[in-house]
A and B are shown apart, each in its own frame.
Chain A
Amino acid sequence: MNFIETLINGLSIGSTYAMIALGYTMVYGIAKMLNFAHGDVIMVGGYMLYVTLTATGNPILGLLAAVVFCMLLGITIEKVAYKPLRGASPLAVLITAIGVSYLLQSTAQIIFGSAPKMVNVASLGNVSFVGLTIPVYVLVTLVCSLVIMTALSLFVKFTRTGRAMIAVSEDKGAAQLMGINVNRIIMITFAIGSALAAFAGLFMLMKSPSLTNTLGAMPGIKAFTAAVIGGIGSIPGAMLGGILMGVVEAISLKIPLIAPYTDAIEFLILILILLVRPTGIMGKKRREKV
């Protein structure tokens, strides 16, 4: 029973990672860049939630405000920092992204100070059935992320915009020739990714209510790792990688001997998987041509 509880907990951590990893992987697939600032969008979402929650006390309103603000932030970051660098070397874009990440962190610290803020989203208890005791937030996280991820998969597969996204990630030039507005698609991708990050921020704050300006840093890196494990650019890969990371984390934290090394184990899995499959589990192998 204990193991099943751990597994469910792992799935919930994993689905949070998967939500963040989706943001990384979609942006990578479409704009071919690593959005290092993605983790900090989670943190901004968290602060937006905190502000709305203290003002109105309504968590739904808080979530809505966080999602909208993060979408706008994602679009602004893309327009101001990344768009001028279209076509520049990947390294230049990556370094700008790192700069944006620092900018968000330090701005948040200037506005809200360095002391952690307590965000009590809603007091949810535990539920028990068939001998299992599971916190409600774990179930909420699992169900919400499942719904969101299914919706996203359907959106990408069946709507015009979603298919345009696939087209842009396959071949930007050809997509443009087919009449797809590439800039618009990139903008939408950033907006969706940032909205997912806002949800992930909510899930993380439900788990532990302490909010600082580095809230998104470590989960961001881990989700990024998850996206790479799954094969960056692949949406099912990001989900798989995220879940894998979460389950590994939950199990490893339960074993006292290796619990302190949980981070190291997760990163080690990344290195091992990349050694066997250099483009991740579901990543497409691209042959470079001259």
Chain B
Amino acid sequence: MAGIYQKLKPYLNYVVIGVLTLVFAVLSLTGGLRSSDIYMLEKIAISIMLAVSLSMVVGFLGELSLGHAGFMCVGAYLGGKCSCILEPTLGEIPALIVSLLVGGAVAALFGVIIGLPALRLRGDYLAIVTLAFGEIVRSVFMNSSDESFGGSLGLETPRFDKYTLFIIALVLVLACLAVTQNLIRSKHGRAITSIRDNEIAARATGINVTKYKLIVFTVSSFFAGIAGVLYSYSNYTVQSTKFSYNYSIEILVMVVLGGMGSINGSIIAATLITFLDMKLQTILTGNLAVLQDLFYALILILIVIYNNASAFKDFREKYNLKALWAKFKKHDPAHIKDDEAKWDRVPSKIKVDEVLSVDLQTTSPYTPDKGKKGDK
């Protein structure tokens, strides 16, 4: 049992999402899901896709992007427009596929355009450029003519069968996971995380920083674009007000709460936040709605301070989830933490685990000091 678990562990998120997709698909076909639940599932799928793609830029490449909603906006408008044009001639499914590809591709193109200055700028400067990009995109679509992109009223997009859209969305989430996770776990992923940890050292080791930054920006914006297309299908109208920088920050909050450099964390945080968001929206109405923002703000500040403040360092090390989990296990060698990828999956004749593990047990049978004392 434990062996199967160990083997499955790297693929656990696929399995969980896949099984859940199947369960929900069966439920929706048998009529066990209300339409509000289906809407929520679509929203959760979109959030997961956005959070996972942003986590590539922020958590793994280590660059701050505040314009993720801008890429989503591009995807939503262009994909939506594409489906408007193609739906009457091609039919539902081909139109969906083509518009997904178009939305993703155009967003990816913008990713390259934004990635290019990213090579010259760093840190805060890049953050402000991505923020500016998001606002430019939004402003352009907001002021477009009514015939092209609907202007300030928004673009009307065709309806899609409600009971299958969320299944497509969840399958796309799996695809997004497969791409990002495999990229991160490959040698390219190692290169990307090394750029995050020390760009100069990475460059000195012969890593093509330019290439990898562009790759990450392109892949990340591609999936943001796809999430945008899904959004346009799920909402029937696309309005530019949705994609303000507040939304980019909401996505960033998901990534940060999930833990930087953890894809599973992003997935869980995206699910939780979207779920709470929609539930709270129905509970808190009118003037109470603002309480939600207040909670978010407080939680965000407290979590970041708790996780980063030097004052809480001892407390943090003593009472974190991993330490609690370790108490349940008998033998816990010190792990080398490297962003999800497992050393034991490296094919080698040497048992890497034995070489790298450090035995931390205090009552070790071999203690050289005792022998010396006995001699005296």
Contacts and interface: CB of A to CB of B under 8 A. Distances in A.
A195 B161 CA distance: 56
A84 B311 contact: yes
24 contacts: A84-B308, A88-B309, A91-B260, A92-B308, A95-B256, A99-B300, A99-B304, A101-B297, A102-B293, A102-B297, A106-B291, A106-B293, A106-B294, A109-B290, A110-B290, A232-B125, A261-B143, A264-B136, A267-B132, A267-B133, A274-B117, A275-B117, A278-B120, A290-B198
B163 to A, nearest CB: 36
A152 interface: no
A90 B297 CA distance: 18
A288 B304 CA distance: 27
Nearest to B119: A278
B123 interface: yes
A268 B309 contact: no
A270 interface: yes
Contact of A279 (B117, B125, B294, B304): B125
Interface in B123-180: 123-125, 127-129, 131-133, 135-136, 139-140, 142-143
Contacts of B343: none
Interface string A252-274: 00000000110110011011001
A279 B122 CA distance: 9
A113 B301 CA distance: 23
10 smallest CB-CB distances across A and B, nearest first, come from A267-B132, A102-B297, A99-B300, A88-B308, A103-B297, A106-B293, A84-B309, A99-B301, A264-B139, A260-B143
Contacts of A86: 310
Given A85-B305, A109-B290, A261 B139 contact: yes
Contacts of A270: 128-129, 132
B296 interface: yes
B187 to A, nearest CB: 23
B297 A100 contact: yes
Nearest to B143: A260
A144 B131 CA distance: 31
Given A34-B124, A91-B64, A114-B287, A271 B300 contact: no
A271 B304 contact: no
A98 interface: yes
B78 to A, nearest CB: 17
A88 B306 CA distance: 11
Interface of B: 58, 64, 117, 120-121, 123-125, 127-129, 131-133, 135-136, 139-140, 142-143, 198, 200-201, 245, 249, 252-253, 256, 260, 287, 290-291, 293-294, 296-298, 300-301, 304-305, 307-311
Contacts of B298: 99, 103
A88 B316 CA distance: 15
Contact of A278 (B58, B121, B135, B249): B121
Interface in A35-55: none
- Consensus secondary structure, chain B interface: helix
A113 B142 CA distance: 27
A225 B127 CA distance: 11
Contacts of B127: 34, 94
Contact of B293 (A34, A89, A105, A225): A105
A62 B367 CA distance: 74
A92 B128 contact: no
Nearest to A286: B122
Given A87-B310, A106-B294, A267-B136, A100 B125 contact: no
A113 B287 contact: yes
Contacts of A99: 296-298, 300-301, 304
A204 B308 CA distance: 36
A107 interface: yes
B124 A90 contact: yes
Contacts of B129: 270-271, 274
Contacts of A244: none
B287 A261 contact: no
B132 to A, nearest CB: 4
A100 B301 contact: yes
Contacts of B58: 91
Nearest to B249: A98
A248 interface: no
Contacts of A261: 139-140, 143
Nearest to B307: A92
Nearest to A84: B309
B123 A96 contact: no
A99 B252 CA distance: 11
A47 B293 CA distance: 19
A274 B121 CA distance: 8
Given A91-B58, A94-B127, A274-B125, A106 B290 contact: yes
Instruction: Output the residue of B125, B127, B128, B140 with the most chain A CB within 10 A.
Output: B128
Contacts of A28: 124
Contacts of B249: 98
A123 to B, nearest CB: 32
A99 B297 CA distance: 5
A98 B308 contact: no
Contacts of B291: 106, 110
A89 B308 contact: yes
Given A92-B308, A95-B252, A95-B304, A102 B200 contact: no
